[in-house]
Structure 1
Amino acid sequence: NNFSNIFMDELERLIDDANKVYKENFPNTTWFERALFFSWSCSIRDCKFCYMSVQQTSGGASEEKAVRSKESLFAEAILCKNLGWRIGFFSGGMNAYPHKDILEILKVINHIIGENVWLNIGAVSKSQLEKYTPHIKGVVGSIETINEKLHREICPSKPLKPYIKMFKDAHRLGLKNSMTIILGLGETKDDFETLKEFIINNHIEKIHIYALNPVVGTVFENKKSPEKEYQAWYIANLRIAFPKIDIQMGIWKNKIDRVSLLLNAGANSISKFPITKSFGSLEAKEIELQARAADREFLGSLTKIPDINWDREVELLPVENDVKAIVKKKLCEYLKNMNS
């Protein structure tokens, strides 16, 4: 108990320092970031923490169902733009869409939000990266853990080497690099120094810090999710080590009580909340309140739909009229569900 008191005192001081560093480098704002997924299928399916590792591979038609229509993606991008949600990254399983189709979709999404998006589709080859370069802000590597022994064990078919090569290629092409980390996979605080080195060596400018969400059927199903103090410790140390890095916290629906703590620890933004299903809910309101408690202005809204002409938003799309008609229908469905 005495040890935990010492840790809490140290953490408090650490968070104070991190908060000062944050305020010296960023405005007092925060926002929600939505990952835009074009598929829920994956050719690997053996990362030990992932729900896909316990799904049956049935192939055929069911695999096709795991790919979203481009119209649905455009509708969601329109929602993001008008509700002030930023797009964390455009993501999906490798080979779920042909590269030329991904390029076409990227162009339209960039048109909607007025800037290039981050791309997170696995380790991309240099030749493909060159084609994507004009249409993306940078690449995201789903690294999950930088403890190499742990990585080999937990992500056996997703080695680090191809990601490190992609980061090098992306940097040479003038793109930005970002990575994801999941805390609670078996790493400890001792791994922080390795993470620091990895960030420096791979020119990482943005990092998504998630806390493990144990999935039934996986080896982690009976493991506890890391405490909020542990996630805060990692975020605060990152903020102090890298004053200008963009840090995003992943929270899930059951971790809303940690938002203000993680913002005070130096996180920039919030993700991993199922917003279209939980729009206007008590949890959504609580996120906005937690932001205020951390003395941050919440940009955009998780609770109020703006009174705008949604059809006109669709009409602005650089696509054929038959595509626009489907986007309008999809957008209508989203808004109806969010209003209910």
Structure 2
Amino acid sequence: MSDMNVIDSLKERNILELMERAGKITLENHGDVISLERAVFLSWWCERGDCAFCYMSTQKPRIKDPSRARRNINAILAEAEICRRIGWNIEFLSGGYGSFSGMEIKRIAERIRDITGSPVWLNTGINSELDIYGPEVAGITGALEVARPDLQRRLCPSKPREDIISMLEKAGELGFRKGITIILGLGETPDDLTHLFEFIRDLKIDRVTFYALNPHEGTPFENQPQPSTLYYAGTVAATRIEFPELEIITGTWIDNLGSIGPLVLSGANGITKFPLFKMFGTAYGRRVEDEVRWAGRRLRGTFTDLERLRNGRSYPELDPFIDRYVEGCLKNLKLL
């Protein structure tokens, strides 16, 4: 099916047809296992801080000392151990521009690889020093967010598309996998998929993470609705049909868990964007597992297995943070 055929199908709202085809392609190329993904944040500061939709854009004026917005490194590493215990992937390390130096990020990635046994993806801004990274890094993510060039320039004025392209090209030259993030609901149209598909082909992108707009107070989008689940699913399905081997991760928030089943059936390999420590052991966590099960897929990782949460490796410097995370999850049980 050509680009225009899937785009026309989306515009004509033939969503179920797209989903059916995409689901078959996904099973043929990827199997039936769905992963739980966790973006691990390094900091709440971004020195650029002008993406129109971003929570960090609302925090920049309030943060007088950016160093205080950095997370404790042992807390970051403890989160990696929790993810290992419960079978979640670390989707990527993420943080605003200017939070950590490249060498600091490298050392964090090395420690996380030691804990989880897997290299990590980075989503830490436009970076010109990728050659400092080695086997601790699996891939580099460009936060493209919007595929149409003019809209991207307007919404993300300090993240030039050309710089993202240059970074991803260098990442490929160095042997890293390449990914991008895309947010739906920012004013794009189905026709804009031509720009996305061209970008994926030209840059030989390995992974796309789709998110639905999560309107943040204090941004121009605070009163905008999230995009329709079927529009989201149709966009994912169209992308899957065009790129059978692409890894696709889809993000949804706690108030929209009903979108998980349709997104899985549309071609998602993994699901992300959950507040892990608020949802583990709750009815919300069970709902995630049920959504995947009723889509006829098997879930890698758990939202409900308390034994896996409690039992794991011990690290003297990390244990106070690990214990705090576990205790936070166990408190959720009282809410049921």
TM-score interval, normalised by the smaller of the two chains: over 0.9
1:20 counterpart residue number: 24
The code of the aligned residue for 1:170 comes to A
Q: Residues 304 and 66 (structure 1 numbering): CA distance in 2 closer, same or farther, change over 3 Å?
A: same
Report 1:155-304 matches (<5 A).
Answer: 155-304=156-305
How many Å apart are 1:7 and its aligned residue? 4.4
Aligned with residue 114 of structure 1, among 114, 117, 140: 117
1:313 counterpart residue number: 313
Question: Does structure 2 conserve the Cα–Cα contact (< 8 Å) formed by 1:278 and 1:284?
Answer: yes
The code of the aligned residue for 1:207 comes to V
Q: Residues 17 and 59 (structure 1 numbering): CA distance in 2 closer, same or farther, change over 3 Å?
A: closer
1:87 counterpart residue number: 90
Aligned with residue 47 of structure 1, among 51, 75, 80: 51
In the alignment, structure 1 residue 30 sits paired with structure 2 residue 27: no
How many Å apart are 1:287 and its aligned residue? 0.7
Question: Does structure 2 conserve the Cα–Cα contact (< 8 Å) formed by 1:34 and 1:87?
Answer: yes
How many Å apart are 1:99 and its aligned residue? 2.2
Q: Residues 286 and 248 (structure 1 numbering): CA distance in 2 closer, same or farther, change over 3 Å?
A: same
Aligned with residue 338 of structure 1, among 323, 329, 334: 329
How many Å apart are 1:307 and its aligned residue? 5.0
How many Å apart are 1:156 and its aligned residue? 1.0
Q: Residues 98 and 144 (structure 1 numbering): CA distance in 2 closer, same or farther, change over 3 Å?
A: same
Question: Does structure 2 conserve the Cα–Cα contact (< 8 Å) formed by 1:38 and 1:92?
Answer: yes
The code of the aligned residue for 1:92 comes to G
Question: Does structure 2 conserve the Cα–Cα contact (< 8 Å) formed by 1:30 and 1:268?
Answer: yes
1:11 counterpart residue number: 15
How many Å apart are 1:104 and its aligned residue? 1.4
How many Å apart are 1:152 and its aligned residue? 1.2
How many positions carry a matched residue from both structures?
Answer: 322
Q: Which runs of 5+ in 1 are unaligned?
A: 316-323
Residues 130-168 of structure 1: CA deviation (Å, up to 9, x unaligned): 111332001001100011111111111111111100111
Residues 258-309 of structure 1: CA deviation (Å, up to 9, x unaligned): 1111100111110001111111121111110000111001111111222577
Q: Residues 174 and 285 (structure 1 numbering): CA distance in 2 closer, same or farther, change over 3 Å?
A: same
Residues 173-212 of structure 1: CA deviation (Å, up to 9, x unaligned): 1110000000010110001111100001111100001011
How many Å apart are 1:221 and its aligned residue? 1.4
Question: Does structure 1 conserve the Cα–Cα contact (< 8 Å) formed by 2:45 and 2:63?
Answer: no
The code of the aligned residue for 2:330 comes to N
Question: Does structure 2 conserve the Cα–Cα contact (< 8 Å) formed by 1:39 and 1:67?
Answer: yes
In the superposition, the TM-score normalised over structure 1's length comes to 0.91
Question: Does structure 2 conserve the Cα–Cα contact (< 8 Å) formed by 1:138 and 1:176?
Answer: yes
Misfit runs of 4+, over 6 Å: none
Q: CA RMSD in A?
A: 1.7
How many Å apart are 1:65 and its aligned residue? 2.5
Residues 57-113 of structure 1: CA deviation (Å, up to 9, x unaligned): 24444x222101111011100000010000000111222122222221111101111
In the superposition, the TM-score normalised over structure 2's length comes to 0.92
Question: Does structure 2 conserve the Cα–Cα contact (< 8 Å) formed by 1:46 and 1:155?
Answer: yes
